[in-house]
A and B are shown apart, each in its own frame.
Chain A
Amino acid sequence: MTPDLMLLGDSHTISLEEGARSLGLDVAALRYGGNVWHEGKFGWNADGFFPKGSNLGRRGLAQLQDRLGVKNVFSVGAPVLTTVGFHLGRLTRPFNWSDHVVMAPGDPAPSTGLLASDALAEAYVSHFRGAHIRMLKRLSREAKLIVVPPPAISEEPNFRQLRAIIVRLMQRAGLEIFDGAQALFGDAPLPAHLIEPDGQHTTPEFGAMVISRLRDAGRI
């Protein structure tokens, strides 16, 4: 049976999955850790998307293929929400080694540290996330694909700026984006009760709010 919604991504898809289930949707998820994504352990073959170098990953895909009765799991017609392409801790951590700062428009000039230009940051992000964006672009030709960027709840330096650059690159590639936190709360910080105690992930309540908003807008 075709699910109502499919999810592809990392641990940030969990709140979306639980939120969707709480709304009564039938959800199928394909989820791998940030290290799989960051290190580019994914590919594309005649059957569509597949994870590389991970037995667990291949088993997860095989189970989903069995459940859906197809080889290309994203060809069944269900809309796909994805968090792929962010995994920002893996980007910001080395980026911040030497105290680099990327200025957002309107930001005051940093009085300490090293300025990294927007152009440099974009080149950096493109290098590490280009393959992800190409994969999503390909996937978007097979399924109704919406990228749902994980909210910028980390206080880590440059987190918001690099996240914004990823979103910009995805938009430039023609991908459909739905920034749930922005749509729901604008530029205000995400309310604390919607953030898990680990400080990195959102709660199922937030996931349900995002899914509801998408559904109400007729996007899924």
Chain B
Amino acid sequence: MVQKKSGDNPYRHIPPQGFWRTAVAEPGLFGLSDLWSSIWTLPSDAVFATFGSCFAQHISRALLARGRNWLNAEPAPGRTPAEIAKTFNYGIFSARTGNIYTAAQLLYWVKLASGQMEPEAIELWTDEKGRVHDMLRPKIEPDGFVSEAEARASLASTARAFRRCITESDVFVFTLGLTEGWVNTRTGQSYSICPGTGVGTFDAEVHAFRNYTYPEILRDLELSLELMWQMNPALKVLLTVSPVPLVATASGDHVLVATQYSKSVLRAVAGDAAQRHGAVDYFPSYEIIAAPPTRAAFFEPNMRGIAPAGVDFVMGHFFAGLDLSGPAHGRLAQSEDAKAAESDAQSAREDLVCEEMILERFNDA
């Protein structure tokens, strides 16, 4: 009787990256590779739009730094000094939405962009100085708007820009940040921050805490995706989860426990959405920062903020896995330089006319 060797099994066919020893323990943190590989071959000049929680802004910066085609659908006016643009929250996300922390807030923006919801549906709050704030992005203007009309017009303007991000992008990158949020129990309005924490007035009768569950988040995300694909059937959506822990929790749990719960739920939703749709992918920014191999090395001393080296590390893996080998489609926005040159030429012509008028004053003939 011939003694058989241990039989073939699926684990014999798994590449080294599927085993902890060969993929993690032996290479070490800085030897990690193939953490993510894009499921899409994108055009070399693929247009990216970025939104979500605060970690999403690192993706836009990294895309710009590498000369990639990041859509800024709501830029500051030309030649706005960088400090002013930053103060007014320009150039952080692809439109001036401010942080979109939850899937519920994403659904609001998608509905505004699609026309299913009007800016009038968004709650406004007037502070003691008479300045008006919209509760979907309460800190978008450092001192609020001058009037309700201006606040609504600004919401409509950003909704138009957000729509462009859906219709003109190849890849819509969205970073899920929180499960926790606050809602108005009478209107259903979802808030990006708890009313009374800087903007708004807290009213326990109306404002209620919500720790969105997995089914609720998946539902809001799926509704958002459905509407986005109605506007652009070719749109690809890349989901990430912010590795930044909660600054505070209203759940009653310890903030560390609440953070792990929140991130776990978001991670599960993102993973499931990616498995359900070929046009959705998941990039593991959360794991790259928070998983054991880093020994929390990429967190700032407060164990919350992400150190620049961590952001670079994440983005290194992002670009390593991105496949931009497809043919360019040529959809490039007019560069700031080209606009500046055109504008300067026109100004020079106008100045010449004025200078000539001034010089003519010396003509005594």
Contacts and interface: CB of A to CB of B under 8 A. Distances in A.
Given A33-B354, A120-B88, A95 B156 contact: no
B350 A89 contact: yes
B134 to A, nearest CB: 12
Contacts, number: 112
B84 A33 contact: no
Query: Looking at chain B, what size class is its interface with the partner chain?
Result: 35 or more
A119 B355 contact: no
B57 interface: no
A31 B152 CA distance: 43
A97 B72 CA distance: 13
Interface in B62-77: 74-77
A103 interface: yes
A123 B150 contact: no
Query: Looking at chain A, what size class is its interface with the partner chain?
Result: 35 or more
B78 A14 contact: no
A74 B361 CA distance: 21
Which DSSP category, helix, strand, loop or mixed, fits chain B's interface?
helix
Given A93-B346, A117-B145, A33 B153 contact: no
Contacts of A178: none
B141 interface: yes
B126 interface: no
A109 interface: yes
B361 A31 contact: yes
A120 B346 contact: no
Contacts of B81: 127
Counting chain A CB atoms within 10 Å of each CB, which of B145, B147, B339, B351 scores highest? B351
A161 to B, nearest CB: 12
Interface in B41-100: 74-81, 84, 87-88
A98 B340 CA distance: 11
Contact of B340 (A94, A117, A198): A94
B127 to A, nearest CB: 13
Given A93-B346, A123-B84, A109 B156 contact: yes
B316 to A, nearest CB: 32
29 contacts: A10-B354, A10-B358, A11-B353, A11-B357, A14-B357, A14-B361, A31-B358, A33-B355, A33-B358, A34-B354, A35-B355, A93-B347, A94-B343, A95-B77, A96-B78, A97-B78, A97-B336, A98-B78, A100-B77, A109-B149, A113-B157, A114-B161, A119-B145, A120-B76, A120-B77, A123-B87, A124-B80, A198-B353, A200-B353
Given A11-B358, A34-B354, A127-B81, 8 more contacts: A35-B348, A93-B346, A109-B156, A114-B74, A115-B153, A115-B157, A118-B145, A124-B77
